[in-house]
Amino acid sequence: MAQKYQTNNAKVVLDILVELKKVEPGNDKRPNKIRLGTRNDEGTSEFDAKTGQIQFSIPINAFKFEKKSFQKSFQASPILKAKQHPFVTFKGRIVNYKKRLLRRKNKTSVINIEGGLTIRGVTKPIKVTGNLSRLSKAQVAGKASFTIPDASLFASNGEEQKGLTEEIKISVDAKVEVTYEKKANK
């Protein structure tokens, strides 16, 4: 079996909840919660079948929103700082990984993943569960869900964190789906 698998079209679906903490007097009819759905099919990822190491990189500007009006705001947002930090990245490993997880075709195994998630240049440890299965000798598929209950955790300093938390709270649920292809030997 090949040792490394990769993809250039990892799929990421985000469910972003933006909650406004302060409601201006006289403007109490404005909704205080907004749910945004977005998708990105341009992520890259690599999985090492020998060690269980996994990494991915998702370009911020490749997210496509259900509501087109949010597209430009998201990409230009000072919250994301996409010009300085154009990618969300993850580097980690499958904690309960054993090579035998991939021996049987079409058998799905539950996996535990630990690693560092980097948003806006700030890396935080994260633990998630997912699943992994071998589709063929050349393909491995994986899925995982990441939950970020408060995006202010990725503030790069105390002033940013205060600015992110005083008026809004942003929580994110991300679902990552990947089909890896056997990496060509060079």
pLDDT digit string, tens, across residues 14-58: 888 777 665 556 655 555 777 888 899 999 999 999 999 999 999
pLDDT of residue 29: 57
Q: Is residue 92 over pLDDT 90?
A: yes
Model confidence, pTM? 0.82
Number of alpha carbons in the 13 Å side-chain half-sphere of residue 171: 9
Listed range (10-14, 53-57, 62-66, 154-158) with the worst mean pLDDT: 154-158
The three-point CA angle 111-112-115 to 5° equals 130
Considering only CA atoms, which of 118, 126, 119 is closest in space to residue 93? 126
Q: What is the mean pLDDT of residues 131-157?
A: 84
Q: Compute the average pLDDT of residues 136-151.
A: 87
Task: Report the CATH number that the domain containing residue 139 is assigned in CATH.
Answer: 2.40.128.110
Would you say 41 and 56 are in contact if contact means Cβ atoms under 8 Å apart?
A: no
**Per-residue pLDDT for 78 more than 60?**
yes
Comparing CA positions, the residue from 129, 144, 142 lying closest to residue 179 is 142
Residue 56 near residue 90 (C-beta atoms within 8 A): yes
Sign (positive/negative) of CA torsion 150, 153, 154, 159?
positive
How many CB atoms within 10 Å of residue 174?
21
Q: Which structural domain range is residue 63 located in?
A: 4-182
Checking 106-114 for CB contacts under 8 A at 24+ apart, the result is 106/133, 106/134, 106/135, 107/133, 107/134, 108/132, 108/133, 109/133, 111/142, 111/144, 113/54, 113/144
- pLDDT higher at 53 or 153: 53
Q: Which residue has the higher pLDDT, 84 or 74?
A: 84
Give the C-alpha separation, 176 to 134, whole Å.
17
Per-residue confidence (pLDDT) for residue 159, from 0 to 100: 57
pLDDT at 127: 94
Greatest mean pLDDT among 37-41, 82-86, 112-116: 112-116
Taking a C-beta distance cutoff of 8 angstroms, is the pair 30, 55 a contact?
no
> What's the mean pLDDT in 57-85?
79
Q: How confident is the model at residue 1 (pLDDT cuts 50, 70, 90)?
A: very low
Identify the weakest region by mean pLDDT among 63-72, 83-92, 93-102, 111-120: 63-72
State how many domains the chain has.
1
Average pLDDT over residues 91-100: 92
